[in-house]
Amino acid sequence: MKCDLCLSMVDGLPKDLRQLSDIEVMRSLMEQLVELAKKNQATIEKQTKSLDELRETIKRQTETLELKDDEIRLLKQALFGRKSERMAPIERELKKRRKEDAEKAAADKEKAKQKRKDNAAAKKKLPREDQEHKVSPEDCKCPFCGGVTYKFMGHEVSYEYEYIPAHFKLIAHHREQMACTCGQHIVIALPPVRVSEGVMYGPGMHAHVVVSKCLDSIPFYRLAKMFERNGMPICRSTLCDIFHRMAELLRPLSERLLEQIAAADYVNADETRIRVQEKGKTRQAYMWVFIAGQRIGYVYSKSRSGETPRRVLGNSQGILQVDQYSGYNSVTTPDKRSRAGCISHMRRKYFEAKDKAPELVQYVLEKVVDLYEVEYQAAAQNILGTEKHLALRQALSAPLMTEIKTRLEQERPMHLPKGPIGKAISYTIDNWEPLSLFLTDAKIRLDNNISEGQLRLIALGRKNYLFIGNDVAGENLAALQTLVATCVANDINPQEYLADVVLRIQSHPQSKIDELLPQNWKPPDKPPAG
């Protein structure tokens, strides 16, 4: 007997299936149901896969939007943010968290007192002009007795510092000519030593142009206006000629400084962009700085490629402290220089991510201040760069670095790899060896701020004179910037130095060129007055 369900299903079957037996009918129906189930399952799987892909797409787009929001936030902060929102210098952070002890306060007070004494001594060396102010006869009438007879008692002296604008002078060189009484021989006095043959501007003028450009970041059009106010009309092209002439004459000195920097065991380096004029537009080039102690060298290059570090440092060995830019990879290899990282650079990355993980960021920033506290202790004990300094780092700084790494490894899986905090953690852990290299050598600084500080001059110049004329001008700027910056680092007045060596280098033996470098230079003896 067939059940009602089966009968209803049979009625709906094609004619050829109605003639089959009950078992065959049921088998055919089951096969159709299985096939239908398979099709439904495939459809469900396809739709599930589409939903998963859609969820993944939404997740990626959400992450991208978050990253874009972070980029926009950072750009707005950099452009419009108040100074209070920018990262505070590490020195200010240290002062906030520690009270000045009596010993340090006394030392600071003594230092300030000595500074005032030095300033007073320097002012006493200024040219002095005494002016006498006489009492007018109308004032010589006593209001008590009516007498008009007064006697001299002395002077009351007060002081006033006055600024005398820079001035130019024309020096006329009269060369004596002598003739023999026989009328057949004439002699003439030797000409004065000039910066270059036929040049009408003296060494002091040449030095002033260079210092104004390299140290004061004054563009030539402004310098020309200043000269004109002081009675010396001069065109910008003449100032350019003076500048480039100095670069050519003094190039052996700047090249020698770079050689000494390359030979140093410990070098700091960094680079910044600079614009170069082209026909109807400007293009981007780079100015690099390499520092070894009191020697500071600048190098101009058309690009940011690693060719410049290779050209300057070559196969030299030692330590190079830089950021993680890949352009330095070719000179930081096992057979060349070891790479030291920058804790300050790392700190900046966490500060930029402070809104995403405030607790973690605060933790890292506090630990970084602890690291600098150790350096300030070493400075207070006057043991910087010594074995005692290294021992202090091993005892105090090494545990701090271990704590930072442990915490970051725990936090890493919890943050987007491409988000601000994820990038900061990846930067720290992936570059842990360079960042912790200071624990092995006391002469390595915690940061590369010394290089960034020297590039501020280039940044200020970039803001004032906007661009340089061509690649040769960039090379000349780098050469003269090298000499001026090294003078400042060695407490040498660059005006006096340049005015002296530009004449001496013309007759100085090449084998003794080191005597004319800023750190070795000795000013010429001044003739006694009168």
Please give the pLDDT value at position 529: 45
Count of domains forming the chain: 2
The residue type of 113 is K
Considering the domain boundaries, does residue 108 fall inside one? no
Please give the pLDDT value at position 1: 46
Strands 318-321 and 337-340: parallel
Strands 318-321 and 266-278: parallel
Considering the domain boundaries, does residue 346 fall inside one? no
Tokens of 372: 């600098």
Instruction: Report helix, strand or coil for 511.
Output: helix
Please give the pLDDT value at position 83: 45
In 367-453, beta strands by DSSP E: none
Q: Which residue has the tokens 């040049």?
A: 199
- What number of CA atoms fall less than 13 Å from residue 419's CA on the CB side? 17
Please give the pLDDT value at position 6: 52
Considering the domain boundaries, does residue 4 fall inside one? yes
Decide if 479 contacts 254 (C-beta within 8 A). yes
d(CA 519, CA 261): 13
Burial 200-238 (b: 16+ CB within 10 A, else e): ebbbbbbbbbbbbbbbebbebeebbeebeeeebebeeee
Residues 6+ apart with CB under 8 A from 387: 442
Tokens of 309: 């570090």
Decide if 327 contacts 309 (C-beta within 8 A). yes
Instruction: Report helix, strand or coil for 318.
Output: strand
Considering the domain boundaries, does residue 83 fall inside one? no
Per-residue pLDDT of the chain (530 residues; tens, 9 = 90+): 445 545 455 555 555 555 556 677 677 778 778 888 878 888 888 888 888 788 888 877 776 776 677 667 667 666 665 544 466 777 777 776 665 555 566 667 777 888 888 888 888 888 888 889 899 988 898 988 888 888 888 888 888 888 787 888 999 999 999 999 988 999 999 988 899 888 899 999 999 999 999 999 999 999 999 999 988 999 999 999 999 999 999 999 999 999 999 999 999 999 999 999 988 899 999 999 999 999 999 999 999 999 999 999 999 999 999 998 999 999 999 999 999 999 999 999 998 888 778 899 999 999 999 999 999 889 888 999 999 999 999 999 999 999 999 999 999 998 888 888 888 999 999 999 999 999 999 999 999 999 999 999 999 988 898 899 999 999 999 999 999 999 999 999 999 999 999 999 988 999 999 999 999 999 887 654 44
Please give the pLDDT value at position 164: 80
d(CA 354, CA 365): 10
Considering the domain boundaries, does residue 519 fall inside one? yes
Q: At what angle do helices 358-380 and 90-97 cross, to 10 degrees?
A: 90
Instruction: Give the CA-trace dihedral at 219, 224, 227, 228, to 10 degrees.
Output: -150
How far is residue 137 from each of residues 37, 140, 142, 151, measured CA to CA in Å?
128, 5, 12, 13
Q: Which residue has the tokens 């030299």?
A: 316
Whether this prediction's pTM lies above 0.85 is answered by: no
d(CA 14, CA 193): 121
Nearest Cα neighbor of 388 from 380, 424, 280 is 380
Sign of CA dihedral 293, 295, 300, 306: negative
Considering the domain boundaries, does residue 389 fall inside one? no
d(CA 6, CA 10): 6
**Residue 20 structural domain:** 1-31
Residues 6+ apart with CB under 8 A from 193: 503, 506
Please give the pLDDT value at position 87: 65
Please give the pLDDT value at position 286: 97
Instruction: Report helix, strand or coil for 421.
Output: helix
- What number of CA atoms fall less than 13 Å from residue 149's CA on the CB side? 0
Instruction: Report helix, strand or coil for 291.
Output: strand
Residues 6+ apart with CB under 8 A from 408: 364, 425, 428, 429
Q: At what angle do helices 494-504 and 471-489 cross, to 10 degrees?
A: 120
Q: In the chain, what is the greatest distance between 2 CA atoms, to the nearest angstrom?
A: 162
Nearest Cα neighbor of 398 from 424, 435, 359 is 435
